Structure 1
Amino acid sequence: MIELNGKTYELIEENKEGFEAEAVKERYSEVLSKYDFIVGDWAYEQLRLKGFYHDNHAKAPIDAKISCFQDYIYEYCNFGCAYFVLKKMQK
């Protein structure tokens, strides 16, 4: 569990020990709070964060739904990179 800007997130997937809480806290931006999931990946020792919605979110584009996060990893991230997925917890 990690708290970011008053919201609690649970680590639900991690690849190659990609999750570093302090790096996430430094990199986190308020714009990510609208998403249900945050995917973080490492490239050239720099953390990138991207938000995704639940699959049942009616107005979200298909590539912004969490079921497509693996496509994002394969298409936009370095091959074999370390990554993680955080899920926003409901109060």
Structure 2
Amino acid sequence: MLIETQFGNFELIHNTKDAFDIAKFNARYVDTFDRFDYIVGDVASELLRLKGFVLDPKDKNYFKYIPDYLNESCNYQCGYYILKRVK
């Protein structure tokens, strides 16, 4: 599903527990995320956290590490979503 935000267009790849809320995303997004190809948003206790990932396999934020991030840094069974930047 294609999502149009104030900060560009994204493809919604995964959305558990209907976690994606465009208003919360727009409020939380900062320019630092412009360099990331993927953005993961997780919601716990009504608080949205965003984390960016890139396509470069040499980077510590390589997108293949998204499952590790979800397992190690997110609350158990929290709602989350994965956005892929559309260029």
* Superposition TM-score, scaled by structure 1 size: 0.86
- 1:58 deviation in Å? 4.9
1:18 maps to what in 2?
Answer: 19
Task: Give the 5 Å matches for 1:12-91.
Answer: 12-54=13-55, 57-61=56-60, 64-90=61-87
- CA shift digits 1:42-84 (9 cap, x unpaired): 1111000000012xx15412xx111111111110110000000
State how far apart, in whole Å, the 2-side matches of 1:73 and 1:58 are.
18
Letter in 1 for 2:29: Y
Please tell me the residue identity of whatever aligns with 1:3: T
Change (3 A) 1:65 1:4: farther
- TM-score, normalization: structure 2? 0.90
Gaps of 5+ in 2: none
- Percent sequence identity is 35
Number of corresponding residues: 85
